[in-house]
């Protein structure tokens, strides 16, 4: 049951003034919708403190949502569009800390490549409260237990309900002020030539095979305003981008090697390029993690299409959060984290804190100018960039003009 508590003293990691809604057990979507409606009415934006919060007492799982007066996201200045990609989350999400990091990065738009957890509904509810324009595609882990939608209440349906229009699977979301449209690929993809969760795809989307899936993606593009760029958001990338283990969608297990991309996505992109004049400067996806399963090196995360008109970006930096203290999630990444002198200094001065990964894309006048893997250090009261690795720079590659003939 949802209750609105009185204003309470801020959590140790937050300096903002809070009002808290709290409950026990798993929060219901109804509760999230009610908070959103209430906040819209009073002109506030909602977010949650960490889940569960406050810490569980008497063995009961408690949770809360807070509201506060957030500054609005930045408007597009001239024709610069900055996109922050949150790659596969795999449980590593904290709305307060990720909001602080994004407030520093100032994106116009946030894209999520899915795999939030194993049908982790509370986490997806928390993502839905992020006060930035955003688009989401659910991954194979987000349909971990649900094989079809015959039961009315299931984790997949709850995630789809709470995300609403922001889930772009086989849909388009227009951002007129940015002159940009996000088009979603096939939800729940796990890569390769077989449909994952086919019953679910049949029942919800009428998709029975790869051809009909490609058709659904193309249909979603119909009606895109002529002056918009199209950015495709999928859980897994398309086939055709290489078959080495380290390629952007390369298979890195079972002997390694092989193209593990989605054939329907490649088919759809080819068809769109043949039949429309809409520029598609960027395709964003995740699923295939940056660190190869063999632990021998890293995956290529950005590759240019053979027609030099489209960049393919894999955002799956996993784990996406590194802590300065050992915990269950991040033990493996601790040594890497501590090697960075700036992070080490931050850890020593501030106790436990986190560094959070985003891939930041800057598009200027319709051209992708820069892509960078960006780590933001967040402590209780501030956020700062501690590492930035440039993955792509337009002027370094001679450049290409989306939509122009080559
Ligand atoms: Zn996945």
CA of 89 to the centre of ligand 1 (A): 10
> Within 10 A of 42 (CB to CB), how many other CB atoms are there?
9
Residue extents of the structural domains in the chain: 3-68, 80-397
Instruction: List, in sequence order, every residue forming a beta bridge with 229; answer none if it has no partner.
Output: 180
CA of 71 to the centre of ligand 1 (A): 33
- Contact call for residues 372 and 359 (beta carbons, < 8 A): yes
pLDDT digits (tens, 9 = 90+) for 182-210: 999 999 999 999 999 999 999 999 999 99
CA of 338 to the centre of ligand 1 (A): 28
Residues near 319 by beta carbon (within 8 Å), at least 6 away in sequence: 90, 92, 329, 330, 332, 333
CA distance 108 to 119: 28
CA distance 69 to 88: 29
CA of 120 to the centre of ligand 1 (A): 14
pTM: 0.81
User: In b/e form, how buried is each residue of 175-209, taking b as 16+ CB within 10 angstroms?
Assistant: beebebbbbbbbbbbbbbeebbbeebbbebbebee
> Looking at the domain that runs over 80-397, which CATH code has it been given?
3.60.21.10
> What is the predicted pLDDT for the residue at 38?
60
Look at the chain and count its residues.
Answer: 406
CA of 235 to the centre of ligand 1 (A): 7
Task: List strands edge to edge, sheet with 3-8.
Answer: 3-8, 18-24, 62-68, 45-47
- Contact call for residues 193 and 242 (beta carbons, < 8 A): no
- Contact call for residues 376 and 356 (beta carbons, < 8 A): yes
Reply yes or no: is the peptide bond before residue 82 cis, omega within 30 of 0: no
> What is the predicted pLDDT for the residue at 289?
95
CA of 75 to the centre of ligand 1 (A): 32
CA of 240 to the centre of ligand 1 (A): 19
Torsion sign over Cα 161, 112, 119, 194: positive
> What is the predicted pLDDT for the residue at 382?
86
CA of 261 to the centre of ligand 1 (A): 12
CA of 114 to the centre of ligand 1 (A): 7
CA distance 279 to 271: 13
Instruction: List, in sequence order, every residue forming a beta bridge with 230; answer none if it has no partner.
Output: 181
> Within 10 A of 336 (CB to CB), how many other CB atoms are there?
11
CA of 4 to the centre of ligand 1 (A): 36
CA of 37 to the centre of ligand 1 (A): 32
CA of 395 to the centre of ligand 1 (A): 33
> What is the predicted pLDDT for the residue at 76?
55
Three-state secondary structure string covering the chain: CCEEEEEECCCCCCCCCEEEEEEECCCCHHHHHHHHHHHHHHCCEEECCCCCCCCCECCECEEEEEEECCCCCCCCCCCEEEEEEECCCCCCCCHHHHHHHHHHHCCCEEEECCCCCCCCHHHHHHHHCCCCCEEECCCHHHHCCCCCCCCCCCHHHHHHHHHHHHECCCCEEEEHHHCEEEEECCCCCCCCCCCCCHHHHHHHHCCCCHHHHHHHHHHHHCCCCCCCEEEEECCCCECCCCCCCCCCCECCCCCCCCECCEHHHHHHHHHHHHHCCCCCCEEEECCCCCECCCCCCECCCEEECCCCCCEEEECCCCCCEEECCCCCCCHHHHHHHHHCHHHHHHHHHHCCCEEEEEEEEEEECCEEEEEEEEEEEECCCCEEEEEEEEEEEHHHHCCCCCCCCC
> What is the predicted pLDDT for the residue at 215?
98
- Contact call for residues 104 and 384 (beta carbons, < 8 A): yes
- Contact call for residues 138 and 119 (beta carbons, < 8 A): no
Q: pLDDT 10s per residue in the chain (406 long)? A: 344 433 333 344 444 434 445 555 556 677 677 666 665 655 444 444 433 334 433 344 444 555 444 445 555 556 899 999 999 999 999 988 999 999 999 999 999 999 999 999 999 999 998 889 999 999 999 999 988 877 777 899 999 999 999 999 999 999 999 999 999 999 999 999 999 999 999 999 999 999 999 999 999 999 999 999 999 999 999 999 999 999 999 999 877 789 999 999 999 999 999 999 999 999 999 999 999 987 778 999 999 999 999 999 999 999 999 986 534 333 334 344 444 555 555 544 555 789 999 999 999 999 999 999 999 999 877 899 999 999 999 976 654 444 433 2
pLDDT digits (tens, 9 = 90+) for 322-333: 986 534 333 334
């Amino acid at each position: 049951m949802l209750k609105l508590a009185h204003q309470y003293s801020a959590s140790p990691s937050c300096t903002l003034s809070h009002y808290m809604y709290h409950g026990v057990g798993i929060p219901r979507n109804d509760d999230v919708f009610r908070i959103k409606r209430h906040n819209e009415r009073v002109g506030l934006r909602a977010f949650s403190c960490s889940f569960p919060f406050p810490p569980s007492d008497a063995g009961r799982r408690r949770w809360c949502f807070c509201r506060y007066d957030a500054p609005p996201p930045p408007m597009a200045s001239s024709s610069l569009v900055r996109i922050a990609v949150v790659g596969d989350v795999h449980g590593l999400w904290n709305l307060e800390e990720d909001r602080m990091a994004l407030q520093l990065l100032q994106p116009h738009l946030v894209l999520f490549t899915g795999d939030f957890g194993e049908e982790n509904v509370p986490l997806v509810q928390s993502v839905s409260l992020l006060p930035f324009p955003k688009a989401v595609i659910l991954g194979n882990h987000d349909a971990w237990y649900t094989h079809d939608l015959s039961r009315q209440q299931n984790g997949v349906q709850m995630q789809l309900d709470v995300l609403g229009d922001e889930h772009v699977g086989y849909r388009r979301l227009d951002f007129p002020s940015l002159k940009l449209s996000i088009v979603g690929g096939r939800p729940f993809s796990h890569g390769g030539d077989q449909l994952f969760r086919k019953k679910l795809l049949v029942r919800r989307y009428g998709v029975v095979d790869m051809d009909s899936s490609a058709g659904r993606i193309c249909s979603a593009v119909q009606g895109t305003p002529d002056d918009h760029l199209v950015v495709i958001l999928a859980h897994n990338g398309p086939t055709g981008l290489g078959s080495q283990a380290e390629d952007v969608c390369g298979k890195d297990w079972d002997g390694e090697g092989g193209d593990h991309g989605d054939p329907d996505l490649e088919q759809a992109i080819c068809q769109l390029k043949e039949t429309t004049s809409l520029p598609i400067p960027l395709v964003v996806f995740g699923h295939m993690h940056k660190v190869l399963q063999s632990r021998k090196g890293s995956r290529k995360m950005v590759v240019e299409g053979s027609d030099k008109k489209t960049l393919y970006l894999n955002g799956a930096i996993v784990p996406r959060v590194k802590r300065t203290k050992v915990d269950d999630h991040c033990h493996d990444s601790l040594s890497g984290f501590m090697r960075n002198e700036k992070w080490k200094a931050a850890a020593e001065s501030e106790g436990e804190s986190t560094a959070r990964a985003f891939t930041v894309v800057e598009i200027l006048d319709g051209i992708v100018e820069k892509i960078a893997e960006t780590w933001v250090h967040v402590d209780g009261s501030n956020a700062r960039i501690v590492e930035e690795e440039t993955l792509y720079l337009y002027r370094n590659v001679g450049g290409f003009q989306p939509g122009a003939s080559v």
